[in-house]
Amino acid sequence: MSTGTGRDRMLASIKAGISRQAERRHGAAGPAKPTPLIPARATAPGVDVVDLFRTMLIAAKATLDEVKSRDDVPAAVQKYLAANNAEARIRLSPDKRVSSIAWDKVPLLEISSGRSHGKDPTSVTPAVAVVAETGTVILQSSDQTPTTLHFLPDQHVVVVSKSQIVGTYEDALARVKRGPDGGLPRTVNFVTGPSRSADIGKILLMGAHGPKKLHVIVVDEEL
């Protein structure tokens, strides 16, 4: 039995199982792949996805701010940091959508950019999209958007334009920037609210390992 490579043995055993299935079906066709179903929550006519996103994001225990223009973002970030007693120090994704914002408008803010090594209290990053159906932020890795910024800081601030609010996961996945070979980037992250755990006495607490707080700033205009 244990001849051949592990791969050969596994495939042989799987194939044997699949012939058993066919026997049990008495020649009937095998089960077909079902068509996926997308819930109507975010797609039904008349649904306001922006409104739904607001509701679901808050339900996921994240926070939300809405501003008119890119130029309003630095002040909004500063206000958020102050309200949360966080250091006036942020680490940006090198991505133009956030790095080209006029951060010097808020002189007291200390700015740096690049991946995180675990010493950054707050990150400010763009996103692929945000999803209304469950208030989920979709992130991806790239040379402009290091993953460490999405997980190591205590506060994660996501800046998106209103046009990035989509209804469903499927809508968001269509916006992921793929590699030259058409493949997914190394990682795609769905983030629904801040990190949490109920492993101690079933008491739900925020900030287990990932960010303790997740804040989304929606900008009316394009980024």
Partner 1 sequence: MSMVPTSNAFKDNATGALKDAPLQEALGIARAHSIETRRNTVAKLPEFEQLRDIGRDLKNHVIANLDTYLLQFEQSVIDRGGHVHWCPDGDSARAKVLEICRKVNAKTVTKGKTMIGEEIGINDFLFANGIEPVETDLGEYIIQLRGETPSHIIGPALHVTKAQVEETFRKAHSDLDPQRNLDDAATLMAEAREKLRAGFLKADVGITGANFLIADEGATTIVTNEGNGDLTQTLPRIHIVLASIEKVVPSLKDAMTLLRILARSATGQEQSVYTTFSSGPRRPTDLDGPEEFHVVLIDNGRSSYLGTEFEEMLRCIRCGACLDHCPVYHSVGGHAYGWVYSGPIGALLTPAIVGVENAKPLPHASSLCGRCEAVCPMRIPIPKMLRHWRETEFTRAITPPTERTGIRFWAFVARRPKLYRLATRIGARVLKSMAGSRGRLASVPLAGGWTKHRDLPAPQGKTFHELWKEEQGGRS
Q: Which of residues 89-108 bind partner 1 (CB under 8 A)?
A: 94
The rounded distance, in Å, linking the Cα atoms of 166 and 175 is: 10
The residue within the footprint of partner 1, chosen from 136, 155, 161, 164 (CB under 8 A), is 136
End-to-end CA distance of the chain: 61
Strands 213-219, 63-67: pairing is: parallel
The rounded distance, in Å, linking the Cα atoms of 166 and 184 is: 20
Q: CB of 129 within 8 A of CB of 163?
A: no
The residue within the footprint of partner 1, chosen from 198, 220, 221, 222 (CB under 8 A), is 198
The smaller minimum CB distance to partner 1, of residues 52 and 67, is found at 52
Residue 152 binds partner 1 (CB under 8 A):
yes
Q: CB of 81 within 8 A of CB of 121?
A: no
Residue 167 binds partner 1 (CB under 8 A):
no
Residue 200 binds partner 1 (CB under 8 A):
yes
The smaller minimum CB distance to partner 1, of residues 126 and 210, is found at 210
Question: Nearest approach, Cβ of 213 to partner 1 (angstroms)?
Answer: 12
The rounded distance, in Å, linking the Cα atoms of 33 and 210 is: 36
CA dihedral (165, 166, 167, 171) in degrees, to 10, reads -160
Question: Nearest approach, Cβ of 218 to partner 1 (angstroms)?
Answer: 19
**Count of chain residues binding partner 1 (CB under 8 A):** 82
> Which tokens in the block code for residue 37?
């179903």
Question: Nearest approach, Cβ of 141 to partner 1 (angstroms)?
Answer: 6
Residue 175 binds partner 1 (CB under 8 A):
no
Question: Nearest approach, Cβ of 174 to partner 1 (angstroms)?
Answer: 10
Residue 23 binds partner 1 (CB under 8 A):
yes
Residue 15 binds partner 1 (CB under 8 A):
yes
Question: Nearest approach, Cβ of 65 to partner 1 (angstroms)?
Answer: 20
Specify the DSSP class assigned to residue 38. Answer: -
The residue within the footprint of partner 1, chosen from 51, 209, 220, 222 (CB under 8 A), is 209
Part in contact with partner 1 (CB under 8 A); list of ranges 46-54, 66-74, 80-88, 147-155: 147-155
Q: CB of 175 within 8 A of CB of 131?
A: no
Measured on CA atoms in the order 62, 65, 66, 68, is the torsion positive or negative?
A: negative
Residue 75 binds partner 1 (CB under 8 A):
no
